[in-house]
Structure 1
C-alpha cells in the first residue's frame, strides 16, 4: 500500500506532473526522471528526481519564494530607474520572489512603511520606467541612527522581507552596511545588496558607476555649445566659467573635454579638486588662453580648494551640511568671475547647471542605460546566490571593443570611501585631461555628434 507521506520540495518553476483519477494528490508519472528547479543555500541548481512507480510517495510543491524590497537613495540620475526596471524584470523572469516591494522616499519609506508591490507593474509601465529620469520611487538623504536601524530591521522581519536592494552611492552603501551589521548582531536573516548609482563616478572597486556615462555626455556636449556661444560673442563676453558637480573628485569636470575636437574649440582649461588651486596660476592660465584665442572657456569642479584645503569662493563661516556631513557648495564660479573681471578688465560669465545635469534625458548615454539595467538584473542574481553585504560592480576587461562584466564588491570597500580621478588622467600642468582619460571615458558616453562649424 502506498504511503500517504508527502515530500516538500522547493520549486522555482512548476514541473510537469501527471494526475491519476484514483488519487487526490499530485504524483509523478509512473516511470522516468523528472528534472525540477530547486534552491540549495540560495543558489539555483538542478536536481533529478527518479520515479519508479506510481505507488511512490506523492510529491507536493512547497513555495519557498522570498519577499524583497528595493529603494532609491541619494541624488537621482538619468538612469537610476533603469536599474529599478532591471530588478523588476529579472525578478519577474526568474520567478524567485513572491513580492518585490518598492519603498517610497528611500529608507524613510521603511521607517514609516510606505510600500508598493512592483511585481504588479505591466510591461508597458516597465518600459516607460526605464525612460523616466529622476527616482520613480522617490529618494532621500537620511543617515540611520542605531534606533532607526533596529526599527527598520524589525519592520522588514514583521513583513517577512528577507532581502533589501539599495540603489545608491557612497552614503547609501553606508546605510546598507549599517543594516547588514545590525542584522548580524540581532541574528536576523537579512540579505543586503547594493546597486551602484552616482554621477560622481567615485565608487571604489569598480570601473565606473551607472549615471556617469550620461552626465559625461551632458557636459561633453553642453560645454561645446557654450564654447561656440562664447566664441561668437567674444567681443562682449569673452570669458565663460562652467561649474560642475562631483563632490571631492574631478570625474565630471574631466568629462567636459570629451567633445573637444581641437584645443581652440574649448574647453581650454579644467581644474580638479585632486590638485590644489592657486589663484595666481589660474590668472596666468586664463590670460594666456585669452591672448591666444581672444576668448576662454573654463570648467571647474564645485569643490576646488587652495593649498590650505579651503574651498574657493566659500564663506569663512560654516555652510549648511547634509545628514552625511557633506557641505553645500556656494558660489565658486561666481567668485572666480568677479576675480577675473577685477584683474583682467573683461566681462566674465558663468554657467552652473545644478541638479539638471544629473538627469537630462536629452543627453542620455545609451551605453549608460543598458549597463544600469544590467546592474539591476545582476543584483537579483546575487540574491539568488545568497550574497549579502555586497554591491554590484562593473569590471572592464576590454576597451577595443569595449566590454564589461558584472561582478560584486563588499559594501565595506564602498561605504565612506571615494575614488579620485587618477593622476595619469590629469596633465602635468593640472589644468586639462590626458589621452588616457579620453580612452577610458569615451566608450561610456556613446558616439558624439558631428563636428560643428564656425567661421570666426
Structure 2
C-alpha cells in the first residue's frame, strides 16, 4: 500500500501513570470534550489504486493523533518547561508562545515556564543572555503582534552538548523548540544527547517554515499570512505594470528550495504571467527561453507580471559557495539578476520598458498572523503541550487531513517538501499564468 512504509512511531519517556487534571471524557455524545486515544491513528496516504483493498497496516505505519491523554507522564507540579524560537522570523511565533503558556498554566497548572532568548544562543553562557519568565500576563496580547517576544537567531544547533548542559543546569524537563528544518535537526541532536545522559526531557518541535517545505507537515504556520501579504505586493506590481507604457512588474518572494509561496500567490492573485520556482529549471536566453517568452507576452499585451521565488534559477547565477549560520547555502539574488537581464534584453532591441522590482520579504516575515494562522498557531501550541505532558518526545506537531498529529522529528527532517512539477498544483499554476510548461533552449 503506498505511503505506509514510513515508521511513525513516537518516542516516549516512560509509562503514563499520572491522572490528567483535565476534566474530559472518553464517551462520545455526552457533550464533554474527549481525551485522545492511543488506539486510533491516521493513515498517512489515503490514495489507493483501484481494486486495492488489502489494508494490512501495522501500528508503526499509522500516524499518532495529537491531543490530551487521560493519563500523563509528568506530574504538573514538577514540570519546569522552556520555550525557544530559532531561525528567521515568521508570522505567528508569538501566537504559538502564548498558546503554550496558556495551556501549561490554565489547563495543567504548570507555573514554571522559561523563555530562552535569541534562539539556541540563549542557552550558551558565552552570550550572557538572560531568560524571560513566561506567564499569562507577559504573553497577554502578543498574538496580535509580529515577530517573537523572545527574539530569534540562526545557528548554534550543532552545539547540542552545551545546550543540554544548560538545560540540565536549569532543571528543564520539557523543551518546546519552534523552528524550521535546521532548527529541528538541532532539536533531534538535543533529544539524543539528553537520552545519552538518561535525562527524562520531553523535546517537542513546532515546525516553523514560512516556505512550507518540511516533509509530512501539511501546512506550516505563517504560510497563509505570507501568501496574503505577497498578494498585496503582486497587486502593486500589476498596477504599476498595467498603468505604464510597456510595464513589467517583478516580485521576488521567499522560497529557498521550494516555490510554494510563489505558486500559491500566483493562484490567489490571478494577475501573474510568469512564476519562476526552484523546482522547475528555465533558460534565460534562446528561442524558448524566459526572455524570448517575455518578449512575446509584451508584444501581445504590453505589460507583464513576474513572480520569482528566491531560490529560482540559481544554476544561472554565480552564487557564493558558503552557507549561512543555519547551514543553508547562500543564494545569489535572482531578483536583481532578472531585473538587470530583462532591462538589458529589451534595451538591446531599443524597447523602452518600464520595470518595477518589488521585494516584500521582510515586510512579510515580520507581519502579525492573519486570523486563520492565529487559530492554527493556538492549536499547534495547545497540542504540543498535551503531547509533552503525555511523555512524548522527539516529535513535531503537524496536521494531516485536518487532524492534529505527532510526526517523528527524524522523519520530518529526512527530506524537503517540494512542488511536484508533474503534480496538480503546478498544473494549476500554468493554467493561471498561461506560461509555457518549459522555458528552455
- TM > 0.5 between the two? yes
1:296/1:381 Cα in 2 relative to 1: closer, same or farther (>3 Å)? same
- Distance between the aligned counterparts of 2:245 and 2:92, measured in 1? 36
The aligned residue for residue 225 of structure 1 is 236
Bigger Cα displacement from structure 2, 242-251 vs 347-356: 347-356
Q: CA deviation at 1:319?
A: 5.3
Is 1:327 aligned with 2:343?
A: no
Q: CA deviation at 1:196?
A: 1.4
For residues 195-222 of structure 1, the C-alpha deviation after alignment (integer angstroms, 9 at most, x for no partner) is 1112100011121110111101111232
- Distance between the aligned counterparts of 2:374 and 2:430, measured in 1? 25
Greater RCO (CA < 8 Å, at least 6 residues apart)? 2
Q: Which of the two has greater strand per residue?
A: 1
The aligned residue for residue 295 of structure 2 is 287
For 1:221, what is the secondary structure of its paired residue? Answer: helix
Q: CA deviation at 1:341?
A: 2.0
CA contact (8 A) 2:157 2:187 kept: no
Of 368, 379, 400, the residue aligned with 1:374 is 379
CA contact (8 A) 2:399 2:405 kept: yes
Q: CA deviation at 1:426?
A: 5.0
Q: CA deviation at 1:11?
A: 7.2
- Distance between the aligned counterparts of 1:351 and 1:84, measured in 2? 32
Of 134, 159, 164, the residue aligned with 2:147 is 134
The aligned residue for residue 417 of structure 2 is 419
CA contact (8 A) 1:83 1:375 kept: yes
Please show how residues 253-332 of structure 1 align to structure 2 within 5 Å.
253-261=262-270, 266-280=271-285, 281-305=289-313, 310-315=314-319, 318=320, 320-332=322-334
CA contact (8 A) 1:426 1:434 kept: no
- Distance between the aligned counterparts of 1:197 and 1:84, measured in 2? 12
For residues 275-331 of structure 1, the C-alpha deviation after alignment (integer angstroms, 9 at most, x for no partner) is 1121131012211221221101101111113xxxx543435xx25521233233333
The aligned residue for residue 70 of structure 2 is 45
Of 99, 107, 114, the residue aligned with 1:101 is 114
Of 65, 71, 92, the residue aligned with 2:78 is 65
CA contact (8 A) 2:22 2:108 kept: no
Q: CA deviation at 1:368?
A: 1.2
Query: Unaligned 5+ residue runs, structure 2?
Result: 1-16, 24-67, 433-441
The aligned residue for residue 218 of structure 2 is 207
Is 1:152 aligned with 2:160?
A: no
Q: CA deviation at 1:153?
A: 1.5
Query: TM-score, normalized by length of structure 1?
Result: 0.73
For 2:406, what is the secondary structure of its paired residue? Answer: strand
Q: CA deviation at 1:425?
A: 4.0
1:337/1:369 Cα in 2 relative to 1: closer, same or farther (>3 Å)? same
CA contact (8 A) 1:109 1:115 kept: yes
The aligned residue for residue 358 of structure 2 is 351
CA contact (8 A) 1:12 1:96 kept: no
| Equivalenced residues, count | 359
CA contact (8 A) 1:110 1:152 kept: yes
Query: TM-score, normalized by length of structure 2?
Result: 0.75
CA contact (8 A) 1:10 1:64 kept: no
1:222/1:349 Cα in 2 relative to 1: closer, same or farther (>3 Å)? closer
The aligned residue for residue 59 of structure 2 is none
For 2:141, what is the secondary structure of its paired residue? Answer: helix
For residues 388-437 of structure 1, the C-alpha deviation after alignment (integer angstroms, 9 at most, x for no partner) is 000000123xxxxxxx2211111101225310012314546xx94457xx
- Distance between the aligned counterparts of 1:190 and 1:391, measured in 2? 15
- Distance between the aligned counterparts of 1:378 and 1:13, measured in 2? 16
